[in-house]
């Protein structure tokens, strides 16, 4: 909104359409034309909008119904009043001022935003409307009034999912004034609790955030440039360490590259990598498989072979040899000329990396590495490099080639060029038994000579010369490529392809350059590309290890996996780790927010979590740490392979950067081409989302290799704090005791049996079943627990799928998770476990909907097919998540315990092969398979989204409509309706690919991945951590501060001793187990003792019988207006053996006698449970 107003002020926009909110509060400049679509309701409204057109030439128009006399009279009245006001102002002679009653205003100093008591009423209603709600719950404030000596007091009861439950205003002379005062006070409290922003507005809804995310992930090419950024790719530091030819002796570290072909159908010349600095240990252990045609592959392993010393002449020859073979495999067109120059590209300034790849000989027992200098010298002595004049040779040792007479020994195992074919060939041997007059296979011609005449018009001059056996020079490929089509293919030997060539048609290029050398160098670029990427991963790991000690535990290979995107098309990618990391990130951030902000509702917690974990924030944090330079996001292109001897020809500067990496033109082709262009600075285009994905993948890498602690340390280093204090967990557990009056003990036991967990803090269990529509208690509902349970369940199911299906592709992993984690599946679990029977709500419609769905679920499968089932209430699925959230808190975040419960809860789903996609995906897959057009036009009226699903294609044109307060749910409902119609017409997917995947996939044991935290001991009481603070201050006001007047709270017991305060015991949770709810709506503490009159008299009898001092009763708190006060009592009992002082605080009661009685009941209960009765 602000950006639109700014464009209007600056003239970029000249038309503004606004609701009546534009009448005030917005800085809108004076306009030339103002049109009112709706008539002003008040004179004030008229004046505000009229002020937008106050220039002399401005026009102000109304739109009214023709012939509507009332509206026309109202306009005349406004016009008349305006004329009269202008006359009075222009003819005014007095400076007298008129006093106006001042309104109370609450102002935020930080932003300057303010709200008056008048507008606080509508703002409070607006805030409540933004609270999480559904079709069974409409959050709004309720107002109650009562008279006091000072005037009328307004009491506001807010919805149960608001951070505060009750607000009492100050006495005022009227109900209207009392309402304004209470609303303004509520606004102030909500702002201090962060429920309202510094601009005194509710935080943006999640729907708005989702729409932004959806648009950012769309396939629309519009805005493509803005979603990609140009970043530099890091070159490993160790490869940049150079040497100079001027050095007399150069010491390099040698690493033998061992080739193990499967099957062994090729011979590979032994090669070795030489580098200035020693490789890190994990790089020295490099192992990689290079994939060839027909399922063949070569296993590569680096073997450290010690230092090797080069003199100046040797290092020069070595550099020339590397330059030579790089030209052969990448720039072979240079060899079509008669002379090729070497040494021009060996400059250290232009080389991106410094290493040498040379042929070697292994000798001795230890396989000592010796450079094959004979091969090196022979290749470099070739005429194409030396420019040697033709010499005369005996006819029995030479052959006539196209470029002169050459020795037979030089021709064998050499590289030649055939001009008429424009191809290069390796010559393996001379076929003495065949010549140009020999028959030619695969041709109608009788012999080779005739074949050449017919095909190329070439006449042989020396047909009697023996033919040359030749193998074509290979085309370089990316051998790291993930060849999916050959995953299941059997490994087959591939016979080498040879042809016979007449010598006089061949030009000798490189002597001694055999096909064995060619086979080896065809693998080297892919090997070095993987090594370079691994070294980058090792550098990042080193950086992280130096930043936090836990970073040392992750392996470099796992880091490399997290840095490699699917676009690289290799056999490793970040997507599986990203899914795991994303689930942990949401859980960890959500857990911290839950504990840190104990007053925020589920919607605000979700919004804040989204703000912390969204792609934009992850992108910002990653770039701040320079993580983007480590990312590998391009498939290896051998043509773009640059090394010592082949520098990058595109020198990138600030001036040339734009032209080298331009994204102009067609986005699909143009950007792909631009992203492949390599420059001297290794720039490449990165999607912003890719950087965020890498962050999540790195989180997943730490979880898999190390655990939660390492992932937490990484997030802290990145700038996302997810740690928490144990005391906050204990506080949340203790605060749950406010829910204890909601159910009798037998209900609690039954619920514990249902969920399979005995609670230390049973209030958490009760809270897990309180629907937000229920407001007859002190506030609170299951939604916060649902938020926590949803986050942990998402991680646990992701961990399950990640461990059970290790070979499952990322896309299938996501689809399976969506199939398992959905409201309908959870709702069925809730019904089967009878959770719905214990739901605490205040909505008859909800109760009927739950009952109808529960009956449908328990209907026999044969009967279900006869009619369409009722709509699945979301509350049922929420109950499963809230129960898990409650158990998670009650166990101090013991995920091992939750893991076992999750497996038992979801066993019917996880072990079923009958897995269905959600209706939207089902419909989408069907439309794609049939090439139909699928659309979901959406509109919103009030709080409801209206969605229409449309399918249009050959012989098909269907639509279905649905509405829901949640846009995603509305789309799913509409999809399900139209999918049913299509099935009735005979359209369906041929097979359920998820079921096929489950049947065919390798299945492993389920594991909880990464959990290494120590659970919080929630049995430890807060008095051991709060030093000298008074415990009764916490128990009396912190938990029940907003419900003292309306809902009696359970008694609180403090067992004090004569010893230091650090040894005191505080047991509100244990006490809560004996609270029962009477028919009258009050609470009572039971001790199971015979009835001896009142609890107060019984306590006196016990003290007398034990020779203790009489109990001391004291009124410690009173609140409320004079005619309706509530009182709280405490009782102090000095117990001689053991030496202790017992203080018991009773709940608030409208009479002092009842308050004292309640405190006495608590003391009796404690004495009995401690065995002192």
List residues with catalytic annotation: 790, 881
Q: How many helices (H) and strands (E) does the chain have?
A: 42, 33
* Backbone phi and psi for residue 359, each to the nearest 5 degrees, phi listed first: -70, 145
Which of the 8 DSSP states describes residue 165?
Answer: -
User: Of 357, 424, 392, 813, which is closest to residue 580 (Cα–Cα)?
Assistant: 813
Instruction: Measure Cα distances from 570 to 295, 482, 519 in Å.
Output: 15, 5, 21
| CB proximity list for 253: less than 8 A, separation 6 or greater | 274, 275, 276, 277, 278, 279, 304, 306, 307, 308
Distance of alpha carbon 43 from alpha carbon 216, whole angstroms: 44
CB-based contact 951:932 (threshold 8 Å): yes
> Which DSSP symbol is given to 306?
E
Return the ∠ at Cα 994 (arms to 988 and 998), rounded to 5°.
140
Separation between Cα atoms, residue 452 and residue 101, nearest integer Å: 111
Rounded Cα–Cα distance for residues 511 and 508 (Å): 7
HEC string of 136-155?
CECCCCEEEEEEECCEEEEE
For tokens 């249009």, name the residue: 952
CA distance 249 to 314: 10
The number of beta carbons lying within 10 Å of the beta carbon of residue 489 is 11
Cα R_g (the chain), whole angstroms: 41
Does residue 917 contact residue 925 with C-beta atoms inside 8 Å?
yes
Q: Return d(Cα 401, Cα 333) in angstroms, integer.
A: 20
Q: Rounded to the nearest 5°, which phi and psi values hold at 840? A: -105, 110
Kindly give the interhelix angle for 967-984 and 919-930, rounded to the nearest 10 degrees: 50
Q: What are the structure tokens assigned to 91, written together?
A: 């003819």
Whether residue 105 contacts residue 200, with contact meaning beta carbons closer than 8 Å, is answered with no
Helix (H, G, I), strand (E, B) or coil at 168: strand
Residue 282, SS3 per DSSP: helix
**Cα-based angle 922, 927, 929 (whole degrees, multiple of 5):** 95
- In 666-725, which ranges are continuous DSSP H helix? 672-676, 688-705, 708-718
State the distance between the two ends of the chain, measured CA to CA, in whole angstroms: 69
Q: List Cα–Cα distances, 555 to 230, 564, 706, in angstroms.
A: 29, 15, 9
> Which among 704, 884, 662, 862 is positioned nearest to 792, based on CA atoms?
884
Query: Distance between CA atoms of 105 and 120, rounded to whole angstroms?
Result: 9
* Rounded Cα gap, residues 651 and 642, in angstroms: 13
Nearest-angstrom CA–CA distance, 370 and 364: 10
CB atoms within 10 A of CB 680: 17
What length is written for the chain?
A: 1173
* Residue 742 and residue 840 in contact, taking contact as beta carbons nearer than 8 Å: yes
What is the CA angle 27-30-31, rounded to 5? Answer: 120
* 1046-to-156, 779, 1097, 1148 alpha-carbon distances in Å: 12, 11, 28, 9
Q: Which of 573, 580, 542 minimizes the C-alpha distance to 558?
A: 573
């Amino acid at each position: 909104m602000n950006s639109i107003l700014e464009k209007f002020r600056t003239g970029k926009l000249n038309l503004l359409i606004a609701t009546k909110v534009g009448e005030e509060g917005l800085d809108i400049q004076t306009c030339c034309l103002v049109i009112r679509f709706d008539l002003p309701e008040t004179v004030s409204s008229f004046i505000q909008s009229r002020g937008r057109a106050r220039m002399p030439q401005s026009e102000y128009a109304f739109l009214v119904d023709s012939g509507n006399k009332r509206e026309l009279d109202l306009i005349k009245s406004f016009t008349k009043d305006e004329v009269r006001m202008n006359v009075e102002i222009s003819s005014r002679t007095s400076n007298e001022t008129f006093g106006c009653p001042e309104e109370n205003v609450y102002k935020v100093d930080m932003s300057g935003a303010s709200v008056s008591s008048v507008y606080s009423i509508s703002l409070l209603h607006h805030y409540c409307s933004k609270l999480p709600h559904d079709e069974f719950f409409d959050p709004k404030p309720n107002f109650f009034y009562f008279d006091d000596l000072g005037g009328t007091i307004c009491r506001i009861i807010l919805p149960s999912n608001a951070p505060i439950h009750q607000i009492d205003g100050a006495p005022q002379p009227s109900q209207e004034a009392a309402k304004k005062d209470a609303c303004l006070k509520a606004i102030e409290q909500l702002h201090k609790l962060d429920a309202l922003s510094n601009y005194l507005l509710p935080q943006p809804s999640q729907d708005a955030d989702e729409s932004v995310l959806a648009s950012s992930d769309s396939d629309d090419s519009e805005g493509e440039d803005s979603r990609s950024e140009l970043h530099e790719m890091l070159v490993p530091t160790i490869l940049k360490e150079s040497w100079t030819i001027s050095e007399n002796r150069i010491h390099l570290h040698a690493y033998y590259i061992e080739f193990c072909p499967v099957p062994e159908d090729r011979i590979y010349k032994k090669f070795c990598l030489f580098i200035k600095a020693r490789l890190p240990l994990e790089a020295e252990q490099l192992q990689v498989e290079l994939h060839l045609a027909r399922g063949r592959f070569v296993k590569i392993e680096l073997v450290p072979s010690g230092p090797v010393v080069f003199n100046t002449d040797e290092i020069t020859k070595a550099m020339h040899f590397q330059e030579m073979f790089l030209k052969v495999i990448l720039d072979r067109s240079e060899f079509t000329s008669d002379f090729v120059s070497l040494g021009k590209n060996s400059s250290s300034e232009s080389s991106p990396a410094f290493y040498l790849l040379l042929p070697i000989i292994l000798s001795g027992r230890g396989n000592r590495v010796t450079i094959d200098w004979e091969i090196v010298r022979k290749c470099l002595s070739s005429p194409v490099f030396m420019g040697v004049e033709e010499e005369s040779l005996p006819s029995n040792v030479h052959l006539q080639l196209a470029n002169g007479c050459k020795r037979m020994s030089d021709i064998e195992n050499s590289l030649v060029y055939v001009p008429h074919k424009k191809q290069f060939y390796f010559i393996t041997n001379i076929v003495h038994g065949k010549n140009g007059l020999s028959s030619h296979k695969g041709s109608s011609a009788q012999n080779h000579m005739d074949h050449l005449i017919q095909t190329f018009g070439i006449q042989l001059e020396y047909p009697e010369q023996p033919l040359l056996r030749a193998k074509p020079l290979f085309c370089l490929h990316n051998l790291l490529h993930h060849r999916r089509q050959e995953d299941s293919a059997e490994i087959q030997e591939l016979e080498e392809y040879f042809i016979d060539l007449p010598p006089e048609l061949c030009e000798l290029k490189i002597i001694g350059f055999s096909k064995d050398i060619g086979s080896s160098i065809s693998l080297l670029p892919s090997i070095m590309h993987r090594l370079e990427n691994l070294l980058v991963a090792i550098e990042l790991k080193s950086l992280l290890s130096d930043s936090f000690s836990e970073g040392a535990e992750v392996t470099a290979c796992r880091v490399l996996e997290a840095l490699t995107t699917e676009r690289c098309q290799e056999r490793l990618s970040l997507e599986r780790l990203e899914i795991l990391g994303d689930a942990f990130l949401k859980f960890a951030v959500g857990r911290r927010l839950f504990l840190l902000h104990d007053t925020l509702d589920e919607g605000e917690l979700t919004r804040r979590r989204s703000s912390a974990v969204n792609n934009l924030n992850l992108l910002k944090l990653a770039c701040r740490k320079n993580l983007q330079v480590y990312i590998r996001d391009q498939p290896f292109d051998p043509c773009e392979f640059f090394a010592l001897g082949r520098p990058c020809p595109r020198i990138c500067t600030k001036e040339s950067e734009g032209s080298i990496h331009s994204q102009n033109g067609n986005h699909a082709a143009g950007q792909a081409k631009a992203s492949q262009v390599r420059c001297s600075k290794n720039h490449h285009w990165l999607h912003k989302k890719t950087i965020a994905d890498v962050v999540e993948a790195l989180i997943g890498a730490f979880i898999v290799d190390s655990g939660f602690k390492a992932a937490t340390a990484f997030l802290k280093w990145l700038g996302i704090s997810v740690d928490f204090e144990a005391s906050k967990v204990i506080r949340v557990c203790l605060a749950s005791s406010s829910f204890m009056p909601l159910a009798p003990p037998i209900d609690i036991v039954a619920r514990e049996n249902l969920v399979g967990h005995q609670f230390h803090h049973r209030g958490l269990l009760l809270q897990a079943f309180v629907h937000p529509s229920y407001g007859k208690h002190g506030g609170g509902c299951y939604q916060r627990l649902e938020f926590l349970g949803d986050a942990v369940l998402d991680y646990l199911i992701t961990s399950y799928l990640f461990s059970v299906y290790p070979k499952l592709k990322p896309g299938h992993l996501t689809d399976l998770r969506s199939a398992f984690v959905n409201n309908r599946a959870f709702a069925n679990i809730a019904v089967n476990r009878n959770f719905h029977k214990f739901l605490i709500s205040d909505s008859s419609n909800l109760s009927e909907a739950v009952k109808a769905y529960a009956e449908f679920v328990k209907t026999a499968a044969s009967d279900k097919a006869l009619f369409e089932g009722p709509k699945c209430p979301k509350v049922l699925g929420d109950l499963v998540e809230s129960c898990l959230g409650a158990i998670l808190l009650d166990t101090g975040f013991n995920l091992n315990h939750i893991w076992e419960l999750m497996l038992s809860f979801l066993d019917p789903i996880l072990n079923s092969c009958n897995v269905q996609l959600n209706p939207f995906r089902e419909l989408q897959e069907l439309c794609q398979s049939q090439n139909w057009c699928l659309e979901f036009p959406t509109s919103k009226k009030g709080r409801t989204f209206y969605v229409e699903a449309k399918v249009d294609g050959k012989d098909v044109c269907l639509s279905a409509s649905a509405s829901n307060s949640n846009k995603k749910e509305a789309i799913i409902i509409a999809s399900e309706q139209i999918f049913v119609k299509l099935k009735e017409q005979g359209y369906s997917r041929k097979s359920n690919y998820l079921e096929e995947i489950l049947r065919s996939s390798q299945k492993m044991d389920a594991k909880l991945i990464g959990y290494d935290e120590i659970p919080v001991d929630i049995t430890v009481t807060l008095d051991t951590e709060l030093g000298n603070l008074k415990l009764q201050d916490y128990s009396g006001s912190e938990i029940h501060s907003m419900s003292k007047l309306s809902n009696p709270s359970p008694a609180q017991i403090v067992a004090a001793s004569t010893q230091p305060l650090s040894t005191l015991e505080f047991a509100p949770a244990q006490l809560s187990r004996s609270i029962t709810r009477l028919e009258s709506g009050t609470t009572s503490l039971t001790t199971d003792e015979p009835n001896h009159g009142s609890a107060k008299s019984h306590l006196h009898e016990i003290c007398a019988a034990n020779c203790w001092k009489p109990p001391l009763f004291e009124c410690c708190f009173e609140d409320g207006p004079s005619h309706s006060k509530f009182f709280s009592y405490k009782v102090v009992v000095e117990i001689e053996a053991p030496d202790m002082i017992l203080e018991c605080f009773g709940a608030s009661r409208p009479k002092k006698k009842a308050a004292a009685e309640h405190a006495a009941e608590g003391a009796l209960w404690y004495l009995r449970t401690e065995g002192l009765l």
